[in-house]
Amino acid sequence: MHILVVEDELKMAKALREGLEADDYSVHVAHTGEEGFYLIQAEPFDLVILDVMLPGHDGFEILSTLRKRGIRTPVLLLTSRDAIEDRVRGLDTGADDYLVKPFAFPELLARLRVLLRRGKQPDEGERLRLADLEMDVAQRWVTRSGQPVELTPREFDLLRYLFVNHGRVVSREMLARDIWKETARQTPLDNVIDAQVARLRRKLDGQFERKLLHTVRGVGFVLREQDEA
Ligand code: CA
């Protein structure tokens, strides 16, 4: 497994390299966003660990440019503050996960394993349909009325989860556990989840008369044809 670390702080970059190499990952370190951006385009990585606070173009800008160019390599963001805005912005921009500094190394390794597993096992040939919404899980595309809907990796996972459970109400706790893989967080993820669902809904339902993604007040969310709430 080939991992790119984009981190300007030398001590942190060194610690990451040593820790990851000790866990048998092959590691490449970039000390600026520009260098990281260049490397991601130049060679394939299985995963990118991207620090948000970088001189010049910061982590958000790098991530946003990558996703706009269709580069779907899983990205784990390192944020230096536990600011909810940073996390929401990171996930909205297309990060697959984030860790707040300082973090425990075993937690980083656990997150990496989850992301790498997710990237390794796409469900082959799974195509999901609801009304005029269609999702191809293996090829990772979504259309509504035949028009492509551009989703970030997180939005894609979220929609897939709602699809698999369509007609059933999905709670924020379920999403936190199964999509965000958070079981024992001090701060609830509700705001992050609500922001992400709102964004997904704008993309899916925004211009359409018939709404498919509904909020069930006080309970959660449901993907279904009729609004029975
Ligand atoms: Ca930094």
Average pLDDT of the residues of the chain: 87
Among the listed residues 202, 204, 205, 197, the one whose alpha carbon sits nearest the alpha carbon of residue 179: 197
Q: How far is the CA of 141 from the centre of ligand 1 (A)?
A: 34
Cβ-contact 52, 36 below 8 angstroms: no
Neighbours of ion ligand 1 (CB under 5 A): 8-9, 51, 53
Between 174 and 35, the higher pLDDT residue: 35
Domain 127-228, CATH class in plain words: mainly alpha
pLDDT per residue over 53-81, tens digit each?
999 889 999 999 888 877 778 999 998 76
pLDDT per residue over 186-196, tens digit each?
667 888 899 99
What is the mean pLDDT of the segment spanning 168-183? Answer: 83
Q: How far is the CA of 48 from the centre of ligand 1 (A)?
A: 15
pLDDT at 138 over 90: no
Query: What local confidence, expressed as pLDDT, does residue 205 receive?
Result: 95
Q: How far is the CA of 150 from the centre of ligand 1 (A)?
A: 30
Query: pLDDT over 70 for what percent of the chain?
Result: 92
Residues of the chain with CATH 3.40.50.2300: 2-118
Distance between CA 43 and CA 41 in Å, rounded? 6
Q: How far is the CA of 12 from the centre of ligand 1 (A)?
A: 9
Query: What local confidence, expressed as pLDDT, does residue 193 receive?
Result: 92
Q: How far is the CA of 26 from the centre of ligand 1 (A)?
A: 21
Cβ-contact 173, 188 below 8 angstroms: no
Q: Which two tokens stand for residue 211?
A: 């709404």
Q: How far is the CA of 171 from the centre of ligand 1 (A)?
A: 35
pLDDT per residue over 78-115, tens digit each?
987 666 777 778 888 889 988 988 899 999 999 999 88
Cβ-contact 77, 97 below 8 angstroms: yes
Between 215 and 184, the higher pLDDT residue: 215
Q: Which residue has the tokens 């997150």?
A: 111
Q: How far is the CA of 78 from the centre of ligand 1 (A)?
A: 9
Distance between CA 174 and CA 216 in Å, rounded? 14
Query: What local confidence, expressed as pLDDT, does residue 76 receive?
Result: 95
Query: What local confidence, expressed as pLDDT, does residue 190 receive?
Result: 85
At 137, the pLDDT band (50, 70, 90 cuts) reads confident
Residues of the chain with CATH 1.10.10.10: 127-228
What global pTM score does this model have?
Answer: 0.55
Q: Which two tokens stand for residue 66?
A: 């990558």
Q: How far is the CA of 13 from the centre of ligand 1 (A)?
A: 9
At 126, the pLDDT band (50, 70, 90 cuts) reads low
At 124, the pLDDT band (50, 70, 90 cuts) reads very low
Q: How far is the CA of 168 from the centre of ligand 1 (A)?
A: 42
Q: How far is the CA of 3 from the centre of ligand 1 (A)?
A: 17
Q: How far is the CA of 8 from the centre of ligand 1 (A)?
A: 5
Q: How far is the CA of 199 from the centre of ligand 1 (A)?
A: 28
Among the listed residues 8, 50, 9, 26, the one whose alpha carbon sits nearest the alpha carbon of residue 17: 26
Q: How far is the CA of 115 from the centre of ligand 1 (A)?
A: 22
Q: How many CB atoms lie within 10 A of CB 40?
A: 23
Q: How far is the CA of 142 from the centre of ligand 1 (A)?
A: 35
Q: In three state form, how does the secondary structure of 143-207 look?
A: EECCEECCCCHHHHHHHHHHHHCCCCCEEHHHHHHHCCCCCCCCCCCHHHHHHHHHHHHHHHHCC
Q: Which CATH superfamily is domain 2-118 in?
A: Response regulator (3.40.50.2300)
